[in-house]
Structures are given as structure tokens and as C-alpha cells.
Structure 1
């Protein structure tokens, strides 16, 4: 499973699971493997789990701006990386030794000197552009929410000002003032704030792609400097 599939899978599970299922997700570990990056000579294997602080907020429907600021939880606090140790049994190690070629230099060693990283870079850039579109869509949801919230607050202020003027007239006439809040009025019903889950997951994925691109770019520069030194010699 690559990074994109991992984030999509976590989002789908969180959107469908009930409270009992959330306890199972808390104990789950997601194994992320990137075959494209592994072909560059780096074993791209990572184990991730959702943090307890994030799960507590999600269980209590606390993924709102106010709750996230109160708990000081950002998009970098969603996942927790678990160290991975890969080991083989003695029999497997012996079998792999038998499969090794007699030449001290293998094809994998030559592959590490490839200067072209275009396929990997293009793939990650395409994924990152897709994530940017998703992040833009999430931001549009919040802009729409805040526009509606501002419109509702303006309507509340206008209604309150009108009610206060009416109460002043009633007081002058010796009548009881009317309450300054009317829960039955639709303009006083709170607007549900959109969840920030999708936005946080997309932002986390964008950061992951940026780190991948940065790492591959650094390795490419090292190879270029190495080849330049060999050519000069």
C-alpha cells in the first residue's frame, strides 16, 4: 500500500466505523510500502498508527477549529510512526546467500547510479497536485461555512436590534418586554462546522510527498556530483 492509498483507507475507515470499530482502529497499524522509491535503492517501508490524542478528539466529534486549537493538535499529530525491524531466519539468509551472483557487483548496485529520477518525481508531483486540488476543495467548504456564519450573525444582530427597539416601545407603554432570544427562529440555530479530518489528512499527505521529493532530489544531486568527479578524474 502506498502513501496515497493509506490516507484514503484511513479516511474511509474513520467515516464508516462506529464506537466499537474505533477501538479496533486504535490498535491497528498501517504498513506503507512505496515500490517506486524502493527501486531507487531505498527500502521505503513505514508503519503508521493513529495517535491517541487524535482518536480521543475524533470519538468525541471534536475535530472542529475550536477543539483543535484547545488541544493544540495539528495535522502532524494525526499519525505516529512505529519503528520497523526487518530480519530473516538463518535458513532464509543462507538461501539468499546461495542466490547471490558470483560477481561482486550486482545489477542493483548499477541501478543506484542511475541519474534519471523523472518517473518517480513525475509520479509524486502528480499525486501532490491531486492532493492540492483536494485541499482547495476542503478550503472552499470552510469559506462557504464562514460566509453563512457571517450572514447568520448579521441577521441575528438585525433581529436583536429590532427586538430591543420593540421592547423600548413596550416599556414606554407599560408592557412586559419580550425575550431577546427566540430559539424557534431559524437564524438562531447553530450552523454545523465542517469536520477538519479530510483537510488534515490531505495536508499530511502533501507533506509526505514533499519529503519524498526532497529526499530523492538530494540523492540525485549526490549522484551528479559523484559522476562529475569521476569524469574529471
Structure 2
């Protein structure tokens, strides 16, 4: 947030070395969306504000397309190297069939995120239980006060106010921030996409190797 507010055209570059070891250069450029920055600046991550901005967890980040290019000298140098070593290590890496380390690591991260998300949901469940209990107490108090006002009216006395702000049951309960749950949900989605992508590539390699063996 601070970088993006103080540095023009600021992005966050993410490199995944574990995925790059599979022969695929894993780079991403991300920035915070303007709508998310506005809410974060005002610290208004409650249900009403999020619904008003139509902001969901998929709207936290904006991905910027990346184009990797080399200078003319680097391209010329790489061309010189190709004659001596036509097959590079990255070419062999693309043929690796085992993706167990990468998959296991992402599954571990995904399980941790699901545990964190469950804890965040428990916070909201506790909040809504307290809110329902408070609303029930308010209704009971209002019914009692209206009955007292009917007695006062029959006696020709001034009715009592139906809301007593000094009463603790009328004090609004602070709603938990949804920021953590939004960030965790975004992480869960990212890990699922990573697992899905690697699993798809692994199946493609296995089918390719099967075809080669058959031939």
C-alpha cells in the first residue's frame, strides 16, 4: 500500500522458484486495485461497505501482463552459446515427470490456509450469535417499556423513551473486519490454481511419455 501510494507505476514482482524448477519461468506482476486501496485507507472492511463497493476477494489484486525481452547483446550471446550446447538444462527440466515436492508444498500451504479461514469464520459465527442475542434482549426490553408506557398513558403521565442509549444492550457490537478472510480466500484460490496448473502439465507429460513408449 505504501509503495503504491508513493512510487509511480509501482508493481510487485513475484517469482516462484519451485515452479521454475519444473522448466517454466514463473513470474507475476501484481498491484492493489483502486477500490481495495480506498477501503484499506479508510479501514472499512465490513459487510455493508464491501457490498456497496461490490468488492470481493477476486478484486483485491490486479495482474499486470509481463513481457520478458533481452537486449540485442544478450540475444547475440545466447545465439553463440546455442551452437555449442543445443540442449540446455531447462530443456531437461521440462521433461521431469515428478512434481511431488511442488504439489506437497502447495497442499501444505492450502491446508494451513483452510485452517486460518475456518478460524475467521468462527469469529463471524461468534459475532452473529452475540448480535442475535442482543436483538432478542432489545425486543424484550422494548416490550417491557411499551407496557410501562401504556400504564403511564392511563395514569396521564409522560411516556418513557423507548430507546435508552445508556443501556448496554443498545450499544452496537463492532463487526469483525473481513480483510483477513478476504486475503486468506485469495490465497486459497491461488494455491488451487497452482495445483490445477501443475497437475494439468503433469498429465500432459505422462500422456506424452506413454505415446513415446508405445511407439
Give the TM interval when normalised to the shorter protein: over 0.9
Between 127-136 and 50-59, the greater mean CA deviation after superposition: 50-59
1:89 to 62, 66, 71: 71
Residue of structure 2 in register with 1:38 after alignment: 20
Question: Which blocks of at least 5 consecutive residues in structure 1 are unaligned?
Answer: 1-13
Partner of 2:42: 60
How far the C-alpha of 1:30 sits from its partner, in A, is 1.3
Partner secondary structure for residue 84 of structure 2:
coil
Is the aligned partner of 1:106 residue 2:88?
A: yes
Matched, 1:48 2:30: yes
Compute the displacement of 1:57 (Å): 2.1
1:79-228 mapped onto 2 (5 Å cutoff): 79-100=61-82, 102-228=84-210
Q: In 1, Cα distance between the equivalents of 2:136 and 2:104?
A: 48
The change in CA–CA distance for 1:27 and 1:161 in structure 2 (over 3 A counts) is: farther
CA contact (8 A) 1:170 1:176 kept: yes
CA contact (8 A) 2:31 2:63 kept: yes
**Residue 71 (1) aligns with residue 53 (2):** yes
Rounded Cα–Cα distance in structure 1 between residues aligned with 2:204 and 2:86: 23
Determine helix, strand or coil for the equivalent of 2:183.
helix
Partner deviation per Cα, 1:30-86 (whole Å, 9 max, x = no partner):
111100011111111001111011112222333111221222111001100011122
1:22–1:59 contact (8 Å) kept in structure 2: no
SS at match of 2:62: strand
Is the alpha carbon distance of 1:191 and 1:173 closer, same or farther for their aligned partners in structure 2, counting shifts above 3 Å?
Answer: same
SS of 1:48's equivalent in the other structure is: strand
Segments of structure 2 that go 5 or more residues without pairing to the other structure are: none
Q: Aligned-pair distance for 1:22?
A: 7.6
TM-score, normalised with respect to structure 1: 0.86
- The two structures, once aligned, show a CA RMSD in angstroms of 1.9
Q: What TM-score does the superposition give when structure 2 sets the normalisation length?
A: 0.93
